[in-house]
Chain A
Amino acid sequence: METTIKVGFELVGILIIFLLPPYLDGIARRVKARLQYRRGPPLMQTWYDLQKLFNLPSVKPTKSLLFTAAPFLALASAISAALLLPYGNVIPVDFGFNLVVFFYVILMVSVFLILGGLSVQNAFSHIGATREAQLILTVEPLIAILYGVFAYNAGSLNIADIIANLHLTPSLVLAYIVLAYALYVESGFVPFDVAEAEQEVIGGPLGEYSGRLLGVFYYAIHIKRFALLWFFVSLLTMPWIGPINSPERAALVLALQFILTVAFYPIIAALEATNARLRIDQVVKMNVRMFFAGLVILGMAFMGW
């Protein structure tokens, strides 16, 4: 019985991982359209796009194996990152220090994006890749520090343990706020989409990708964004609703996670729609500032605040 429920939850989680992200993008596009007084595409649109891309052959401008492999590796990383997160009371892949693994696996999506961009001879791909690298290099330390705050607060590096053991301190509240910022930046939403800036570097690292490979990359990026948001939502809500000890309660929590994720996406879309893209140097400056804020929070956490 226990295992059936667990498997059930895992299945639901996997379904969510695979099916939800493109819908979330559909919601975002719809919300943006509404803010712009447009009707907007149907919710399924991102699915249609992906489906079409998967059916198209790819043009390969280079013989490099990396070029072909990068999208699949990115997708694999994104999926494994999503599998490390809790769905209800179940974490599909659960082991001792999976926060660290989550951190790295998510990072790998960007790394493969950069590698893919660098594997071709195209000035804009290179600029895009460089920008992505700059973005990642400045925001990741911040995220690491924040994870540190959470881990210190809960005394564990396991996501499930952290969720179970978090206790409210001023530093934790601040950490939540800065984490929201950091994850937003890492997801590459406007105004931090400098790497894929359409008008400036025409698609950036994705510039040379087409057809199926491009579809896989987009899918990976959608899943990555979903994973980051799901992670944030879980971290934000689950510690405060008490122990999850019955399947009913777990289902409730899963529903809560789901609803919050879906609800957060329109907010993100609204933020995207009402902002202009920043320049990479401005982004870097902001990230560095936030990094110092992160250090202060870490200090506070050590002080026990």
Chain B
Amino acid sequence: MGRRLKSVWVYHVDAGSCNGCDIEVLDVLSPYYDLERLGVKVVPNPRHADALFITGPLTRQTRIALKKAYEAMPPKPRIVVAVGTCASSGGIFYNSYALYNTSPQRGRDRLRSGGPEMIVPIDMYIPGCPPSPEEILYGVAQLLSIKEKKMKGEYWIALPPKETPSKENEVEFRIPDRPIPLRYWLTLREELRRVIGYYDREAVLNDFMALVEKAFEDENPREKLHDLVTGYFLKEKDSRVKVAMRFLENEFWRLYDEYHSLGEALRKKYPVTAGV
């Protein structure tokens, strides 16, 4: 953009969005974010506007209105900002019959074409569902050359096991090295989703696995683990985490017993195929 723009008047068009982005665009004007201090003002009329904020996946019914609004803007500078995932690519609705999408694979290509870019050129994509005010502020700041672009595309080549990378984008395979077999971690992780949810489970499980490793250094791991978990509660006061830890303890020993009698059980169940 070169020179920093000091005054940008913005017209906001809804191209069939779910409202989330519209509300966030309004939210950026509210006291905590105050877009106006950057010289950005929302105007009610495309004739007065230098920039267009588009939200929504471009439904067929709105595309004429959008086109009209775009053409009503003064020919310079005509900045177009796509706010939200829908406006960046059609979002979750991308290949519905009610959307206007003329891209060759109807939105399944590499760039996930879709949304307003079908009819107007877009200068700034602000993805997010909906983008939070900070994200919109960042997009606008980038437009005004206050902030730098931070994202860049990546192309990784995932190397098969035991190969070492020779090029920069080649990555070798790493299975986390744990003394406790990976399958415990996997099973417990899945079950923990039910107890404490997917977000907190990683931290809780990592803490628990650390305790298990410690417990197995002892002669009597069962009692040791129980003590360790109880000791852990002195530090961690949260009632839900406590529940989850106790649950993990029980579940771990159940799995432990199950796996240890596994060979036996399997041989009983499939006597013929075993070892074939």
Please give the residue numbers on chain A whose beta carbons come within 8 Å of chain B beta carbons, in ascending order. 29, 33, 36-42, 45, 48-49, 51-52, 56-59, 198-199, 202-203, 206-211, 214
Contacts and interface: CB of A to CB of B under 8 A. Distances in A.
22 contacts: A33-B36, A38-B31, A38-B34, A38-B36, A38-B37, A41-B37, A41-B39, A42-B37, A45-B6, A49-B7, A49-B9, A49-B41, A52-B5, A57-B74, A57-B75, A57-B76, A202-B44, A203-B45, A206-B48, A207-B45, A210-B48, A210-B73
Interface in B64-85: 72-76
B47 interface: yes
Interface of B: 5-7, 9, 31, 34, 36-39, 41, 43-45, 47-48, 50, 72-76
Contacts, number: 72
Given A202-B45, A210-B47, A58 B36 contact: no
Q: Considering residues B38, B45, B74, which has the most beta carbons from chain A within 10 angstroms of its beta carbon? A: B45
A199 B34 contact: no
Given A39-B34, A48-B39, A56 B74 contact: yes
Q: Which applies to chain B's interface (DSSP): helix, strand, loop or mixed?
A: loop
Contacts of B50: 52, 56
A194 to B, nearest CB: 14
Nearest to A200: B44
A61 B47 CA distance: 10
B7 A198 contact: no
Contacts of B38: 41
A159 B48 CA distance: 38
B36 A40 contact: yes
A299 to B, nearest CB: 44
B7 A207 contact: no
B257 to A, nearest CB: 62
A168 B41 CA distance: 46
Contacts of A42: 37, 39
Contacts of B31: 36-38
A280 B104 CA distance: 53
B74 A58 contact: yes
A273 to B, nearest CB: 12
Contact of B44 (A40, A198, A208): A198
Given A203-B44, A207-B45, 18 more contacts: A29-B36, A38-B31, A38-B34, A39-B34, A40-B37, A41-B36, A41-B38, A41-B39, A42-B37, A49-B7, A52-B5, A59-B72, A198-B44, A203-B45, A203-B47, A208-B47, A210-B47, A214-B47
B107 to A, nearest CB: 33
A-B interface, 6 closest residue pairs, ranked by CB to CB distance from nearest:
A48-B6, A198-B44, A48-B7, A210-B47, A202-B44, A203-B45
Contacts of A51: 6-7
